[in-house]
Amino acid sequence: MRYCANCGQLNEDSSKFCTACGTPMYPASINNIQPQFQQPIYPIKPQSKPIYKKPWFIILCAVWVLFILFILSTVRIKDTESDSAMNVAASSAVLSETTTTATTTEEVTEPPTEAPKDFLGELSTVLEPAVAEKAYRILTNDIGFEDLEYDGVVSEGLTNYRIIADDYNVILTASDDVYRIFSGDCVFYENGTVTLTKSQLKEREISSSDANKYYTIAKEIVSQNLNNPKSAEFPSSVTKDGVGMERRGDLVAVSGWVYAENGFGATIQNDWLVQFTVTDLDSYAYNIEYIQIGSDSVGQYIDFAE
């Protein structure tokens, strides 16, 4: 058997031509050595450059960068021009307002009408002038309000009148005389007697933030006086039913209920009341004045009504 020198096909010794490609077969040599098959050499295709290295791609990117820079510079110039125009307009408006204010100040020669006269004038349209004057004296001199504004009748046919007094919504009950002045549960004046002043009201007011701190202090005081403090279960927040709170300056009273184990291991509910004086609310510092848990009490009870 002999191999074709052209394509490498194996042929019979007697074959004169390659059965695959038709190339004439070489005659056998003296040493009966067959010519070696030559592996065809295929041309290697040169590798092309990456697209980002091609000149046309580099030129295109440069054009795009220049175009974007041009757009950004145009927008920036427009914004600068707009800001300049706004500043000029604002300066003109301020100058115009200043000029107008100066002109108006020069033209006004009469003093403005005093607020009390407006209040008395409006209140005198629904009450006798003497009664309106008395109500004004009680509100300002006796109770301590400063800014008063008449806000109308509560309901037609009634003798209750709305008054805004230093941001408080106050109700005045009056007809032939002044009978009552109140705001919610706070009664300032009743039956000829001042029962609460503005300064006293300030001492009673409790913000939501302070209320949470007072409640935390109260629960701590109660827990320290239980047989098993770890078993204590209080209302979840100060706004829940059963929780009460009063304040007179630094003196605070908080009441509520608690479920806790007694000395026999049984869980029972007890009502409680604690009174304490706050020395530093930010650090929750206080002095205990009175504690009552169920029927047990310690300390001297302080009557806030006195």
Q: Which pLDDT score, from 0 to 100, does residue 10 have?
A: 80
pLDDT at 178 over 70: yes
Q: What are phi and psi of 157, to 5 degrees?
A: 90, -10
CB 239 within 8 A of CB 197: no
Dist. CA 119–CA 101, nearest whole Å: 27
Mean pLDDT of 221-229: 94
Contacts of 294 (CB under 8 A, 6+ apart): 270, 271, 272
Residue 39: pLDDT band with limits 50, 70, 90: very low
pTM summary value? 0.52
238/279: higher pLDDT:
279
Q: What is the mean pLDDT of the chain?
A: 80
106: pLDDT strictly greater than 80: no
Pairing of strands 178-183, 168-174: antiparallel
